[in-house]
Amino acid sequence: MRKLTKMEQRELENTSGAHSFEVTKTWLGNACPDATKGIRAVLSEAGLVDYKELGNGTENRVFVPIAYENGEEAEASCYRTKTRGDNRINFKNLKDYAQAGDIMAISLVRGKVVLTNLSRRAAGAVIAVVFAVGSLPSVPALFS
């Protein structure tokens, strides 16, 4: 995973109990990427899936409910590969919310698994600050 920008790091720290992952072309393509330790921890904490208890192969796949930060509900497909037992996950509609290189956070919010795009949230904060600063009166006017 790439190093987080300062803004992404702040956003992650402000998202209680969140774990981050970088969206890659694999995440956005048809292949199911690895379910990282942090992702597995959130799903387990939510009581949705414990990868240790899943049998190998897509026939043992489990679908779990998730939501995106805007409230759209979706599902994640969780399974272990047939031969090596690698932990895999695929978030439905992820490409509508992220592009390759974005940092996402997965967290448990009021009992729901929520995905947040930290890169876009951080970029939005910068745009908001620029907009706000651009609309402020000049510095001397603030003190008059």
pLDDT in tens, 5-62: 888 888 888 887 889 999 998 888 877 899 999 999 999 999 999 999 999 999 999 9
What token pair was written down for 75? Answer: 């599902």
> Is the Cα torsion angle 131, 134, 140, 141 positive or negative in sign?
negative
pLDDT of residue 32: 84
Contact 88, 81 (CB under 8 A): yes
Closest CA to 117 of 29, 12, 26, 30: 12
Neighbours of 121 (CB within 10 A): 19
Neighbours of 65 (CB within 10 A): 12
DSSP 3-state of 144: coil
pLDDT of residue 129: 38
CA distance 117 to 123: 10
List C-alpha distances in Å: 2 to 9, 98, 100: 12, 15, 12
What token pair was written down for 31? Answer: 């292949």
pTM: 0.78
pLDDT digits over 73-92, tens only?
Answer: 999 999 999 999 999 999 99
DSSP code for 52: G
